[in-house]
Amino acid sequence: MKNIQLIDHALLDEVSRMARESPRRRKNYNFHSADDDASHRLLNAMEPDSYIQPHRHIDPAKDETIIVLRGRFGVVFFDPSGAISGTTVLDANGPAMGLTVPHGVFHTLVALAPAGVFFESKAGPYRPLAADERARWSPTEQDAAAHEYLRHLAELFQ
């Protein structure tokens, strides 16, 4: 029998622990076996102080589906100039727990509670974000301004 992977509370706890211990304060747990697989399926655990630079996926095959399994996340959408074009809250126990982000749409997620975990699915193969997929109007993860920008984004959900 093939290796069946169970998604249970023990796995969510383990991935959350790894996120807490990670310098980036988030951790992926991949179900796909290689970066060149045609379908990427993964858990993404995030802590509230983890910053994901706003980005988009230009490839028409890279629509991204996110389903929250634990916790609460704010999703922010931007127009190409960086103006906020929309927000939504995804909550494992709320009215909306998932969404699909079409390719070409600038977006980011903000963890609104500790130990949050979402399931993510998009087409492979994995390719690092290209320069034109990163929002040039936002700080990079390494930029000193990233913490303040994350705080600003989190305030959208208070």
| Average of per-residue pLDDT across 89-104 | 98
Question: Which domains are delineated in the chain?
Answer: 9-128+142-155 (2.60.120.10)
Q: Is 30 helix (H, G, I), strand (E, B) or coil?
A: strand
The amino acid at residue 18 is M
pLDDT of residue 4: 86
pLDDT of residue 12: 98
Q: What's the mean per-residue pLDDT of the chain?
A: 96
Which residues, other chains included, contact 131 with Cβ-Cβ below 8 Å and sequence gap of 6+? none
Which residues, other chains included, contact 121 with Cβ-Cβ below 8 Å and sequence gap of 6+? 39, 40, 41, 42, 64, 65
Specify the pTM.
Answer: 0.95
